[in-house]
Structure 1
Amino acid sequence: MQYKNDSKFLIQAKSLYSKYSFLLPWVSLLWGVISSFLLTRDYTKTIRLSVFTFAFLFFIVTMSTWYSFIKNSTHEKINNLKKIQKSLHKRKDLLEFLGSTATQYFVQYIFMFCIPFMYFKQEWIWFIFLIVFALFTIWDPLWTKLFRYSFFRLLLRLLAFCMAFSFSYAVLFPKNLDTFYIWLAVVSFVIVFPWSGTFIQKKLKRSEILSTFFISILMIAHLFLPNDLKFPLLSIWMENAHFSFEKPRTARFQIMSEDQVNRNFLLNKLNSDIYLCSISPIIAPIGISYEIVHEWYVDDQFVDKISLPTIVGLKNNDRYKTFSCKKFFPNIKEAKKITCKTFLKNGIYVGQASLFIKSD
């Protein structure tokens, strides 16, 4: 009787799993995103992250080169291999599986690590992009299908390595931020370069050539994007940016707790000789020392550019508060939004804050 009950329970469990198993990747993604925001992130992990990333790069290049060599070797060449090489050849499918699985979990880890930074920097395009690709790494059947395409493999690896590099660079080289995008391009080239074809001198497949070509085009196009649309420098960001009337530590200072304001209230303040200020609390690693620039926009139209004092990186992720203030805005009576974008003096985008103007 107990056996029948157990069998019935297993049948029901299998039926339930078959019915709702499609939800598991979404639940895993949701849990992964939530838990990624709860992880402790500090700059002390940078060296470990860098070593892990470049060790994985060596692993991937070695694995792909060996697999390409074995796959394209003649029977005579295989017979001339050493004993350990023959043993690896017999397990080439296992090696391919290990390479796919290692890439899957590496990319998943990097994406989950970096998703909160995209959120804090309000890089919504990159944020959604990472969410989608994180889903690819969690949904095994979809991953298995997509991983067959060289363009997908190359794009995933490029994104993962660029994000790891973007987080580590400012920590390891705080005095060399002017060359960040140059070195990012160099790293990108190293990632997309067809190393297996170089080492074993095999003829590249058409798909490999096209994948490398298209991604190279994307890399070149990236260099000409506006600074606030380029791949972000992840280790410098703003946290809790907001607006206020008048600057901090003054008698008429009034912080704005929301990102919207009544139009008449705003106009009355500005007409009363009160300035609107954008306060940018910036988190940066120790060693950073750069001037900040605020660019003000009204309805996405450039209004003014204000240079601010130098910020420095502080310990324990403390925020270095900087601010700029303005009183006169063109077309403010019809405006719907005021935006203040924050950049390093060399043009690297840090973040932005927007104030939405409500009509009565």
Structure 2
Amino acid sequence: MAAHHRILLAGDDFVRNDLLDDQLRRALTAEHTRALDVRTMTLPWPHVPFGPVSEVDEASDVEDELAGTVGDVEVAVTQMAPFTRRVLEAAPSLRLIVCTRGGPVNVNVDAATERGVVVCNTPGRNAVAAAEHAVTLMLGTLRSVPRVHASVAAGEWRSDLYAYDLCGLELSGCTVGLVGYGAIGRRVARILRAFDADVVVSDPFVGADALEPGVRLVDFPTLLASSDVVSLHVRLTPDTANLFGHESFAAMRPGSYLVNTARGGLVDHDALAAALESGRLAGAGLDVFPSEPLPAGWPLLSSEKVVLTPHLAGATRQTAHRAAAMGADAVRAFLAGERPPGVVNP
């Protein structure tokens, strides 16, 4: 590799530059490593929330700084840098953007394609973390863990919670319906089978031959009517927006639970609040929301039936290491003249 291959590592305080640099040097040959011309740029996320930047989304607001940095960069590796059309126009040498996340929403992929820039992502980087968090929310919701913790911390000792009507449920013997069966859904199913839960799946893109042993494929209405817990693992598209509204909640088994670690826009939260208040649903575990951060006075903030986490399902150290390793492998393949994994604009 010639020394003119310039690489920008635009890390943050989750997928850090030291992780990216370490994995890159592990992935490349000694010859390639000696010829690296690496520069770094540290983004302020997660200490400063991401958001829309020009025409891209979920990015750090550093468009001006990035545009002034990428002039001679050939390869960029980032999770949160805003590769807008303006930034791409300022990067005539750029040939590869590796976005170390599941979807490159911070990259204008159309503009990159027009300029011949390959864009890669790292699908499945957080599948383990997100799956474990989904099951954590199930357990926390079924057993009201935050509420009873707050009670004990307040000096109470409520033996009345042994009352039958106040007791929670075990996952063992419950029917858990998974809406979506991608990398995260499959791992959730595997964990749930170890709990002896009955797992059913609704996913129009999956055949029965792709299921984990003991997992059954059903249609969406059957899943809603038969599940004690429904867990969401689908992408947000025009077809899935507000998939769970008044109609879906009315079709769910009375006293059932909803868990969402996918995208907030999958759920009509006014309809969810109504379903919880009426008792149609017994509880909900939510990691994602219609707007983030949540506005003051959001109705479900005060509900004892809801367990809330601030979009942290993928937040593990292993996720950060995995993202860096997958990003480094994409760079290695590109510099070796191979097709990189995770290309989104073939």
> Normalising by the residue count of structure 1, what TM-score does the alignment of the two structures yield?
0.28
Of structures 1 and 2, the one scoring higher in RCO (CA 8 A, sep 6+) is: 2
Q: Determine which structure has more spread, i.e. the larger CA radius of gyration.
A: 1
| Greater helix content | 1
> Normalising by the residue count of structure 2, what TM-score does the alignment of the two structures yield?
0.29
